[in-house]
Amino acid sequence: MRHDHVISAKDLSREGIEEVLDRAAEVAADPAAARGRQAGTLLGLCFFEPSTRTKMSFTAAMKRLGGDVVDMGSVESSSVTKGESLADTVRVVEGYADALVLRHPSEGSAKMASEYVDVPLINAGDGAGQHPTQTLLDLYTIRKSAGLDDLTIGVMGDLKYGRTVHSLAHALTNFDARQHFVSPESLQLPRSVRYDLHEAGASIREHTDLTEVLPELDVLYVTRIQRERFADETEYRAVAGEYQIDADTLAAARDDLTVMHPLPRVDEIAHDVDETDHATYFQQAHNGVPMRMALLDLLLGGDR
């Protein structure tokens, strides 16, 4: 991978992805060896939208490397409320830190911001656009649980607005995965994502019913269907109910099916799934730390 900005999963090559995943596996196997590798390095956190796990995970990763973070804080308490542009904000903050992490509600915001800074900039989510570090930890989790070769994956839920879905689908084209997309018709993949998958020669199929594909899957990746995507509560409940799974649903699945979710979940995965061997979503969240340690270390040029 190019060791500068991390904006979109579309920029990640198979070699680049494998480099990060290999390094993450090394870090996970021997965390002590990574300690102190980024002593004295500062990571700037610019989160224009609320985030719990992504922000905490980046903070934990940086501190475990021996570095530290400087945090812009909430938008309400920053100069953004005085009308400062994003381009100005990142140009100021790059003077305080050795790399930046940006989350912003506008699509394309990370790409634009990266044009204004010289330090590495990592996109931690730009609206309904991309979230490449979530993708890297998803790929790391898939590789550990099911393997990335000869993979059959089902992605279910809000495929229209779910940025984790868009990033993951792009990245999986590097591995020739068979991708099944399961959603209500109103939340199918957007045209731009379909275009890219088609251009990449990806093998994709779209479904409205999980039972059509569940028995074939190595991985089922579930995402949340958000209430605000529907005109009224009744319609939301009717549709969302079709895309929830519980232990009974998974009786039709293979024994070694891996169930993933970017979290937070609401009720799309029932708690009785947590107790099954399928449940991998908490491990998935934990994998964010070694993966982000590996990525930060590669971007910041840590001595090995």
Partner 1 sequence: MSDHELRVSKIRDGTVIDHIAAGQALNVLAILGIDADSGETVSVGMRVPSDRLGTKDIVKVEGRELSQDEVDVISLIAPAATINIVREFDVAEKHRVERPAEVAGVLSCPNRRCITTEDEPVESRFDVLDDGIRCQYCGTIVREGIADHIDVR
Chosen residue from 63, 111, 207, 254 binding partner 1 by CB under 8 A: 111
Q: Which of 103, 160, 224, 261 is catalytic?
A: 103
DSSP state, residue 27: H
Return the residue of 81, 192, 203, 211 that touches partner 1, per CB under 8 A.
192
The yes-or-no answer on residue 55 being catalytic is no
Residue of 140, 195, 190 whose CA lies nearest to 165: 190
Q: Does 13 bind partner 1 (CB under 8 A)?
A: no
Contacts made by residues 123-128, CB under 8 angstroms, sequence distance 24+: 123/5, 123/6, 123/7, 123/8, 124/47, 124/51, 124/54, 124/55, 124/58, 125/49, 125/51, 125/54, 125/163, 126/102, 126/163, 127/163, 128/160, 128/161, 128/162, 128/163, 128/166, 128/190
List beta partners, residue 71. 45
User: Is residue 86 near partner 1 by the rule CB under 8 A?
Assistant: yes
- Report whether 169 contacts 193 (CB < 8 A): yes
54 is catalytic: yes
Signed CA dihedral, 136, 139, 145, 149: sign only: negative
| Interatomic CA distance for residues 207 and 195, integer angstroms | 18
How many chain residues bind partner 1 (CB under 8 A)? 21
Query: Can residue 94 be called a binding residue for partner 1 (CB under 8 A)?
Result: no
Give the nearest distance from C-beta 160 to partner 1 in angstroms: 13
Asked if 115 interacts with partner 1 (CB under 8 A), we say yes
Q: Is 79 in the site for partner 1 (CB under 8 A)?
A: no
- CA 195, CA 29: separation in Å to the nearest integer? 39
The reply to whether 23 belongs to the active site is no
Q: Counting contacts by CB under 8 A, is residue 129 touching partner 1? A: yes
237 assigned to active site: no
The question of whether 5 is a catalytic residue gets the answer no
Cβ at position 86, least distance to partner 1 in Å: 6
State yes or no: residue 132 binds partner 1 (CB under 8 A): no
For residue 213, give the DSSP letter. Answer: T
Among residues 10, 35, 53, 111, which one is catalytic? Answer: 53
Among 38, 109, 133, 145, binds partner 1 (CB under 8 A): 109
- Taking CB under 8 A as the criterion, the residue among 191, 231, 251, 255 binding partner 1 is 191
Supply the residues annotated as catalytic.
Answer: 53-54, 82, 103, 131
Please give the residue ranges that form the binding site for partner 1 (CB under 8 A). 85-87, 104-109, 111-112, 115, 126-129, 191-193, 195-196
